[in-house]
Structure 1
Amino acid sequence: MTEKTRSPWNVGRFFETLTYFDAIPFIGCLKRLFADRASEEKATQQGKKIVGTILVVGATGGVGKRVVRRLLEKNYQVRALVRDAKRARELLGDKVELFEADLTIPETLTSKLADRISAVICCSGVRVQPLEGDTPTREKYYQGIKFYLPEVVDSPELVDYQGIKNLVEVVKKSLRSGEKILFDFTNPSADLKETWGAVDDVVMGGVSESNIRLVGGKAIFSGNVSTANNGGFASVRTRNFNPPLDLSDYQGIELRIQGDGKRYKFIIRAEDKWDGIGYSYSFDTLYNCWTTIRIPFTDLIPVFRAKTVSNAGAFEASKVYSMQLMLSKFEYDGALNPNFSPGLFSLEIESIKAYGGQAKPQFIMVSSAGVTRPGRPGLNLEEEPPAVRLNDRLGGILTWKLRGEEAVRQSGINYIIVRPCALTEKPGNKVLVFDQGDNMKGQVSREAIAELCIQALQIPEACNKTFEVREEEAVANSIDWKSLFANLKPD
């Protein structure tokens, strides 16, 4: 297995490796100093993007456009389902991926709509406009909000019920509970090329050589591993994540790979040192066969240069600095890899995920307060909001919203259903009040509802709950979102 001959050592590759990973700080600083600043700023911005796309439905509406703006401000990747892409581009700008389709036409909702999404925020609804002939003299007021007697442009049944059912059918195949996509090579972004680099045995005098390429919806880690010069490993590694990833809510790492029958290692680091302790897991591959490898954090072995470190302690998943894939002739503590042979190799990767996390909302539906009130025995319509009083005249708009809610609850997706009271254009800085039972009346800002939707994405306590929300007059210095959601009863 060991090649006896000496081979020329490539000192140039040695320094390229160290400078790429900033292992020589002075040289790394010079490299960054003279790099093209525009390209570096672009890579930095892309590197901070949160992996996994949020699909926003109803993105050009009053709440939807605010949701999009806030998602972009928080560095989420956003896809907007829109009816008119040209108009949407003018409203939403160039940073949003647009998908032109119609909820009421299932044929337009192709699988690409749900590709790589991690959650849906649905703010869709029928369009309304004043009745022809309405004049300011026919203005009505409810809780200080001016409105006109409207007419419905769309069919509530088609949009608020059948459209939601159509949407759920498409997205539920892509939304898997308890997972976090870390690297999605099936549709790679430009920052992936700036994240991974080769770390071969050239760093210790060897001549093995590898690289990672993005080809045809996958990453290919390949090269030629040699045991000459006492070498025998090739690997690709990420630059340090800044800030480090917090995976403490998850149980392990999942790799979707296709191999060549060799045994590889996955190495993850909980410190930012270049040559520090790594936590390793060996896995075998099947030739030309896609497999899913799950790596529990509890099974990781602490190592330093392929030697186990008995006093290193358990892996700390709250600060993940880097990840690495390696082919090596050694296992641990001098033992040989039983499925190793020098020469050409190839490992294909579709994705790297964290698995086993707490369930978080994946389908956030903005519905409406009052959906259960039409037809409720003993209801005094004169005391109800306009939408309740006008439900029949508006084609049963609240009735069909309720049916749409039921479609979401029955989907099997982790959801929350938000029922805002009368929506306003106010700043959204007031104290929020949540309640259940559909008796709430009042007002709430569209800005506040947009922020609520985004906060709910990261709060497990919000899962599978339906609630009404309004604002109080008092200004909120801060909002304890977790407590608000925790005090609600699950459906």
Structure 2
Amino acid sequence: MTYDRAGNISNTLTALDLFGSNLKWFRLDDGVMGGKSETTHKIMNDDVNDDADGKLLDFTGTINTDGGGFCSIRASLSDDDDDDDDDDNDNCGFSPNAIGIKLKIIGDGKTYKFIMSNGNTGGGGGGGGPFSRSPSWQCDIPTRDDNIEQDIYIPFTKLHPAFGGRSSSKPSPEVIALYKFDVTTIREIGLMLSLRLSDGSPNPKETFGEGLFPFSLKVSSIKEVTTTTTKEE
């Protein structure tokens, strides 16, 4: 069965706000490489945060490690309908002095990843997709398992460059070390649950799972952190 990636992209769910715009999320699972995992992300009522719009994003689904091992959701920061040629908008919203991202989440004890890329995940392109020639940038998100909301700060200095696909198709560690994060190139953000952590090491079964299992990461807020703000704001 062919993985319907185009169908996933056309059937987005709108949730959360970043840079004054609603984010539209689509799923990208290991089915793109023949796996059997499936994301079933959804919008839920947020009964915790008074400053939210009353809705939160539930990144949920089922991981199947038989032939695969990851689920993800992505949101584009590009606006194809925007005809504004203002160079100040070339980085799709991120401030030149952006230093990180802050999330409000409720997890399930698993370790997820926050991902950023140039948004080109196709063959011969970039963005850290399964057939990418340039990296996505990833940081681990350890979560609690007691239904308590967490404030997560992800400094850009903690992001790891990561390549999809098989090990044989990836650049050498020496070449990967040459890549430098540039926030002005970011066109897509996402969340992932994977059998690999952001540094490429295995995600332990205690914080991932084994076999066939469900997962759920609820996100009520995502904000940019700059040198003129603080991660507590």
Structure-2-length-normalised TM-score = 0.70
Counterpart contact for 2:140–2:198, Cα < 8 Å: no
- Could you give the per-residue CA deviations for residues 219-250 of structure 1, whole angstroms, max 9, x where no partner exists? 10000001112x00001011352362333222
- Map 1:159-174 → 2, pairs under 5 A: none
More strand by share: 2
Measured after TM superposition, the shift of residue 317 of structure 1 is 1.4
Answer with 1 or 2: which has the greater Rg.
1
- Map 1:329-408 → 2, pairs under 5 A: 329-332=195-198, 335-338=201-204, 339-342=207-210, 343-358=213-228
Measured after TM superposition, the shift of residue 340 of structure 1 is 0.9
In the alignment, does 2:29 pair up with 1:200? yes
Unaligned runs of 5+ in 1: 1-9, 23-30, 32-45, 52-180, 360-491
Counterpart contact for 1:202–1:208, Cα < 8 Å: yes
Counterpart contact for 1:241–1:320, Cα < 8 Å: no
Measured after TM superposition, the shift of residue 330 of structure 1 is 1.2
Partner of 1:273: 120
Partner of 2:194: 328
Counterpart contact for 2:94–2:224, Cα < 8 Å: no
- Map 1:223-234 → 2, pairs under 5 A: 223-229=61-67, 231-234=68-71
RMSD: 2.8
Q: Which amino acid aligns with 1:354?
A: E
User: In structure 2, what is the Cα distance between the partners aligned to 1:286 and 1:220?
Assistant: 15
Partner of 1:65: none
- CA distance 1:183–1:285, shift in 2 (3 Å): farther
Unaligned runs of 5+ in 2: 46-54, 80-89, 127-134
More helix by share: 1
Measured after TM superposition, the shift of residue 212 of structure 1 is 2.0
Q: Which amino acid aligns with 2:222?
A: I
Counterpart contact for 1:245–1:320, Cα < 8 Å: no
Counterpart contact for 2:38–2:71, Cα < 8 Å: yes
Measured after TM superposition, the shift of residue 296 of structure 1 is 0.4
User: In structure 2, what is the Cα distance between the partners aligned to 1:246 and 1:332?
Assistant: 22
User: In structure 1, what is the Cα distance between the partners aligned to 2:214 and 2:188?
Assistant: 26
User: In structure 2, what is the Cα distance between the partners aligned to 1:258 and 1:237?
Assistant: 18
- Could you give the per-residue CA deviations for residues 181-200 of structure 1, whole angstroms, max 9, x where no partner exists? 6189xxxx8x54xx101100
Counterpart contact for 1:201–1:233, Cα < 8 Å: yes
User: In structure 2, what is the Cα distance between the partners aligned to 1:317 and 1:298?
Assistant: 11
- CA distance 1:273–1:351, shift in 2 (3 Å): same
Counterpart contact for 1:247–1:319, Cα < 8 Å: no
Q: Which amino acid aligns with 1:321?
A: R
- Could you give the per-residue CA deviations for residues 229-284 of structure 1, whole angstroms, max 9, x where no partner exists? 2x000010113523623332221000100000000000011x24124221100120
Counterpart contact for 1:330–1:337, Cα < 8 Å: yes
- For residue 179 of structure 2, the aligned residue among 293, 300, 312 is 312
Greater RCO, CA 8 A, separation 6+: 2
- CA distance 1:255–1:207, shift in 2 (3 Å): same
Counterpart contact for 1:201–1:232, Cα < 8 Å: yes
